[in-house]
């Protein structure tokens, strides 16, 4: 998995039981940092530019090679051969996400989502079947194509009779709301780390604000926070998803131009408040069927930002906020494991989306399969 934050590639090797829906057991994990040239190439492809097709093809191939490095590290750590692995679930790198309702889509234009990768190259490099392109079938069925992790969250964390929220804070944050009656809802809440990381790198040179330390030196600017929260995305109802093509530093710069000058550390503190506020609103506003959750489990890179977790706890004082490590899943494992799980579901011919989450017309089998050999 390489997410919106573009900080690296995370991989897990998961062993599944035969039972449908089982979350699996992690045998090994590995991560590699995203090389700066590839990261810059992928960032450039977030916006229109010259020779996009060639640049996209080259970036997809380079990403496949990086995925192959992670796969080899996993095999070495677990002392397994490629023949012992059923498949690689490879998400690819989202460079455009324009689902139904996206403000940049004209009424006569088709919605789409694009995750760059070269799955055939990955299959050749690893001698393992690859399952990729998980989102496009849900889009074709009228859905948002995201979030896709709620089905896995239900398998990994769901308990009969318990309402539970799981929040993945990657570049974009998403919520899975598991009701006590077994129903599942979910949505992208808005920016997670994407603005925090970008603003931090612009002003400090660091790719991210470790533990939120820099943000703690600033103060929240209420007028700027209100300006950011006025974005129409936060007021949409029903299924919704978003990405870096909507929430990026240009979006923030436009809000700052309207607000006026501000200390960089104060902006960082305000961005922490924005992420916490939009997550909290989604948790409190979800359809819980009458029984609110007592716990929120947090995964993704944002789970390591102490300032962000503190802000979320302050906004949800009656709910316990803790990381997924408390449920036996280190935060950095969860999203990669979700796409391993979705690959397993595809190989078994089982549906992977949750229509109540994405808004698709019905359940769909997700992923294109590239068999080895």
pLDDT above 70 covers what percent of the chain? Answer: 99
Question: What's the CATH code of the domain at 81?
Answer: 3.30.420.40
Q: What is the pTM of this model?
A: 0.93
* Residue-wise pLDDT tens digits, 58-91: 999 999 999 999 999 999 999 999 999 999 999 9
Contact 209, 268 (CB under 8 A): yes
Q: How far is C-alpha 308 from the geometric centre of its chain's CA atoms?
A: 17
Is the domain of 106 the same as that of 201? no
10 belongs to an annotated ligand binding site: yes
6 belongs to an annotated ligand binding site: yes
Is the domain of 46 the same as that of 61? yes
356 belongs to an annotated ligand binding site: no
Is the domain of 113 the same as that of 129? yes
Is the domain of 133 the same as that of 263? no
Is the domain of 22 the same as that of 82? yes
> Torsion angle of alpha carbons 123, 129, 133, 135, nearest 10°?
-150
Rounded-to-integer distance, Cα 169 and Cα 175, Å: 9
Give a yes or no: residue 53 inside a domain. Answer: yes
* Residue-wise pLDDT tens digits, 261-302: 999 999 999 999 999 999 999 999 999 988 889 999 999 999
Q: What is the mean pLDDT of the chain?
A: 95
Is the domain of 205 the same as that of 229? yes
Contact 176, 309 (CB under 8 A): no
Give a yes or no: residue 36 inside a domain. Answer: yes
Is the domain of 232 the same as that of 355? no
What is the pLDDT averaged over residues 114-135? 98
The count of residues in the chain is 373
Is the domain of 156 the same as that of 218? yes
3 belongs to an annotated ligand binding site: yes
7 belongs to an annotated ligand binding site: yes
Contact 20, 343 (CB under 8 A): no
Q: Which domain holds residue 190?
A: 150-327
Is the pLDDT at 20 greater than 70, yes or no? no
If one counts the domains in the chain, the total is: 2
Give a yes or no: residue 1 inside a domain. Answer: no
Q: Output the furthest CA–CA distance in the chain (Å, rounded).
A: 59
Angle subtended at Cα 242 by Cα 238 and Cα 243, rounded to the nearest 5 degrees: 170
Contact 171, 6 (CB under 8 A): yes
Is the domain of 126 the same as that of 235? no
Whether the upstream peptide bond of residue 147 has omega within 30° of 0, thus cis, is yes
Give a yes or no: residue 301 inside a domain. Answer: yes
What is the pLDDT averaged over residues 131-144? 98
Is the domain of 312 the same as that of 191? yes
Rounded-to-integer distance, Cα 219 and Cα 265, Å: 7
| DSSP assignment string, 243-262 | -TTTSSHHHHHHHHHHH---
Rounded-to-integer distance, Cα 90 and Cα 11, Å: 9
Looking at residue 21, what is its pLDDT? 67
């Amino acid at each position: 998995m390489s997410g919106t934050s573009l900080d690296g590639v995370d991989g897990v090797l998961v062993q599944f039981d035969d039972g449908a829906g089982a979350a699996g057991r992690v045998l090994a994990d590995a991560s590699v940092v995203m090389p700066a040239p590839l990261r810059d190439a992928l960032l450039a492809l977030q916006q229109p530019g010259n020779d996009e097709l060639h640049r996209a093809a080259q970036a997809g191939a380079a990403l496949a090679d990086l995925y192959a490095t992670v796969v080899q590290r996993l095999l070495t750590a677990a002392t397994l051969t490629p023949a012992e692995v059923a498949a690689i679930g490879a998400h690819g790198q989202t460079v455009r996400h324009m689902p139904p309702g996206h403000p940049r889509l004209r009424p006569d234009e088709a919605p789409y989502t694009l995750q760059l990768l070269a799955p055939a190259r990955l299959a050749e490099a690893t001698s393992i079947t690859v399952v990729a392109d998980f989102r496009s079938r849900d889009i074709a069925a009228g859905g948002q194509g995201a979030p896709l992790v709620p089905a896995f969250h239900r398998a990994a964390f769901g308990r009969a009779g318990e309402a539970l929220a799981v929040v993945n804070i990657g570049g974009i944050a998403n919520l899975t709301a598991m009701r006590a009656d077994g129903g599942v809802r979910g949505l992208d809440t808005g920016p997670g780390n994407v603005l925090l990381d970008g603003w931090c790198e612009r002003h400090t040179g660091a790719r991210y604000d470790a533990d939120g330390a820099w943000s703690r030196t600033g103060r929240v600017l209420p007028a700027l926070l209100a300006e950011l929260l006025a974005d129409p995305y936060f007021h949409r109802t029903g299924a919704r998803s978003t990405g870096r093509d909507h929430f990026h530093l240009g979006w923030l710069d436009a809000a700052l131009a309207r607000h006026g000058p501000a200390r960089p550390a104060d902006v960082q503190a305000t961005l922490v408040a924005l992420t916490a506020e939009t997550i909290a609103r989604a948790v409190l506003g979800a359809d819980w069927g009458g029984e609110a959750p007592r716990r929120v489990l947090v995964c993704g890179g944002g789970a390591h930002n102490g300032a962000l977790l503190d802000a979320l706890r302050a906004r949800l004082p009656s709910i316990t906020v803790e990381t997924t490590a408390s449920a036996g899943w280190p935060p950095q494992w969860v999203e990669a494991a979700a796409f391993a799980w979705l690959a397993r579901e595809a190989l078994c011919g089982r549906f992977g989306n949750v229509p109540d989450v994405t808004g698709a017309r019905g359940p769909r089998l997700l992923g294109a399969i590239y068999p080895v050999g």
